[in-house]
Amino acid sequence: MAETALDSSVPVDEPPRALQLRRIIDVMLRPRAVFTQLRAIDRAVWQTPILLILALLVVRVLVTAPIKAAQAESGLTTPPPGFEFYTPEQQAQLQQALEATRGPVFQYVFPIGWALISGLLLWSITAGLLYLLSTLQGGRGSFTRALNLVAWASVPTIIHLIVQIVAVLSTNRLIASPGLAGFVPPPPDGTLLGRALLGRIDLYLFWEIALLVIGLRLFTGLSRGKVWASVLITIVLVMALRILPDLLAAQLGGLTVIRPFLF
C-alpha cells in the first residue's frame, strides 16, 4: 500500500523540477517504489542527487582545507634529508615550493576542481559500466536510465558526506582512517593496497550496492543472478579506480616534501 501511495503521489509524466528533495527521503524509506517510478522515465532526472553530492564535496574541501593548512604550519611537512647540503639557491627554491603548496590554489582551487571532476567521472563511469554489462546480458534500458539509477542510488553517498563534514566540524580533526581501515592495525610495508581498499569499504557502500541491485532489476528485467553479477563487477572496477588516488597519496605521504613545478 505504501508503494502504491508513493507511485500515485508523483505521476510518471510529471514536469521536471530543479530539485526533488522529497525523493531523497523516499529513496531511503521506499527505494523500490522510487525506482519503479524512475523506470518509466527516459529523460534526465539525476540533477538533485548529483548536484547535492557535488555541493557536499566542495563543502568538505572548504572544511578540511584549514585543518590541513594548520598541520602544514605546525611543521608536519619537513625538508628532505640532506637539505643542509643544498646550495642557497636550491634551498630558496625549495622553500618557495613549500610556500606555494600552502597557498589558496593548492589548498582550495585544485582540491575543489579534482573533487568535482572525480565525482562526475565516477558517476558516469559507474552508469556506463552498468549499462554495458546489463545490455550484454540481455537487459532492457538506456544510458539515460542508467545515469538516473546510479544518481539516485548514490543517496548513501550524500548521507556519508554529511556525516563526514559534521564529524570534522565537531572534532576539528581530519578523518584519519575511514571505512574498515579504522578497525584494523596499521599495515606493514607493502600492504598499502589493502589499507586503501579497506578505507573505501563501509556500510554506505553496502547500502548503495543494495539500491543498485533493486533498481537495476526493475530497470532491466534481468534475473537476480545477472543483476548481482553486473553490480558487483561494476563496483569492483570502480573501486579499483577510486583507490588509485589513495595509493598515490600514500606513496607521496612517505616522501618528505612535494615540490610542485620544481625542475
**Of 121 and 180, more confident:** 121
- Answer whether residue 100 is part of any domain: no
Give the per-residue pLDDT at 78: 55
Whether pLDDT at 27 is above 60: yes
d(CA 70, CA 175): 15
78 found inside a domain: no
DSSP labels for 144-155?
Answer: HHHHHHHHHTTH
Looking at residue 145, its pLDDT comes to 94
* Section 16-31 average pLDDT: 84
Residue 119 belongs to a domain: yes
Within-domain flag for 213? yes
Burial class (CB within 10 angstroms; exposed 0-12, middle 13-18, buried 19+) of 88: exposed
- Which pLDDT does position 229 carry in this prediction? 95
Q: What is the mean pLDDT of residues 96-115?
A: 79
Taking the whole predicted model, whether its pTM rises above 0.85 is answered as no
The rounded Cα 257 to chain-centroid distance in angstroms is: 27
Grid cell listed for 158: 550524500
Q: Please tell me the total count of domains within the chain.
A: 1
In a domain, 91, yes or no: no
Q: Which of 22-36, 105-119, 125-139, 249-263 has the lowest mean pLDDT?
A: 249-263
Residue 77 belongs to some domain of the structure: no
Task: Check residue 69 and give left, alpha or beta (phi > 0: left; psi -120 to 50: alpha).
Answer: alpha
> Percent of the chain beyond pLDDT 70?
67
Segment holding 127, helix H or strand E:
helix 110-136
pLDDT band of 79, cuts 50, 70, 90: low
Range of the domain at 176: 112-263
The SS3 assignment for 223 reads coil
